[in-house]
Amino acid sequence: MRHIVYIFLLLTVLSSCKHDPTFEIQSLDEELQSAIKRNSPTNDPKYFVMPESDDYKNLPNQDPHNPITKEKVALGKLLFFETGLAQTPKYPNCYETYSCSSCHVPSKGFLPGRFQGIADGGYGYGTLGSSRSLADGYVETEIDAQGNRPMTVMNVTYMTNTLWSGLFGANDKNVGTQSLWVGLADVNHTGYAGLEAQNIEGFKLHRLAINDKVLYTFGYSRDISKEILEPFLTVRKKGPCYFLAKPVASPAIKVHHLAL
């Protein structure tokens, strides 16, 4: 009988020590919620809720000279995958064969699917970009593959200054560092914010260009009204290629009749 009492007591003690996961999760949730609130500049956790991706006017870090619109997003989607922009490859066999998406592969989270992305000088694709290899006639030092690993372009609206080093952009962390804007960072003197500065340099670096062929043969000029596009493109026309003009307080680029 004494044994039975002991066992009963032991069971009572054990069951009172029982781990209560519900209670623990609830207290962790509360702790997390108060930490989020504490860290919110507005003291409201909603500050950290991201806007929907088509809620253009609420996307952060927009360049006031170049606000995001539905039309520009549609145009950007075309250009990101446009191998026709591959106008200035090292050798003709790679002419019009690469684009931003050669290195930023959407199905790989906008990363290359291998250590380095290869645009010009690359050949083939493989599963999700994993087996792009050296194109005929190129040696390794001639291909466009950057020393640093590519970054994703997902949610880059949250980036103020781009690249691993934050080099690009005349805004935010780079304000007051003008004396260091030399070499690649020279583009910051245009006054553009991080993403635009990145794209201007990215175009040159990745051997992409917009020229008469892209504009007039591929039909971009038909879809984008010329008067609106030209101030952005022709001010710095050099040889057969167009470069973006300085930011101007001009009307936003309007794209017409894009059939998507």
Report the alpha-carbon distance of residue 231 to residue 142 in Å, rounded.
34
Residue with tokens 């029982």: 18
> Of 25-33, 133-141, 154-162, 229-237, which part binds ligand HEC (CB under 6 A)?
154-162
Output the smallest distance, CB 36 to ligand HEC, in A: 23
Contact stretch for ligand HEC (CB under 6 A) within 29-37, 160-168, 218-226, 232-240: 160-168
Select from 162, 171, 174, 188 the one that contacts ligand HEC (CB under 6 A).
162
Per CB under 6 A, which of residues 124..153 are in contact with ligand HEC? 144-146, 148, 150-151, 153
Residues 180-209 that bind ligand HEC (CB under 6 A): 195, 198-199, 202-203, 206, 208
Which DSSP symbol is given to 162? B
Three-state SS for 165-229 is CCCECCCHHHCCCHHHCCHHHHHHHHCCCHHHHHHHHHHHHCCCCEEHHHHHHCCHHHHECHHHH
Which residue, chain included where needed, has tokens 């290899």?
Answer: 133
Does residue number 59 form part of the binding site for ligand HEC (CB under 6 A)? Answer: no
Q: 């190129």: which residue's tokens? A: 138
Q: How many CB atoms lie within 10 A of CB 221?
A: 15
Contacts with ligand HEC by CB under 6 A lie at: 100, 102-104, 117, 119, 144-146, 148, 150-151, 153, 156, 159, 162-164, 195, 198-199, 202-203, 206, 208
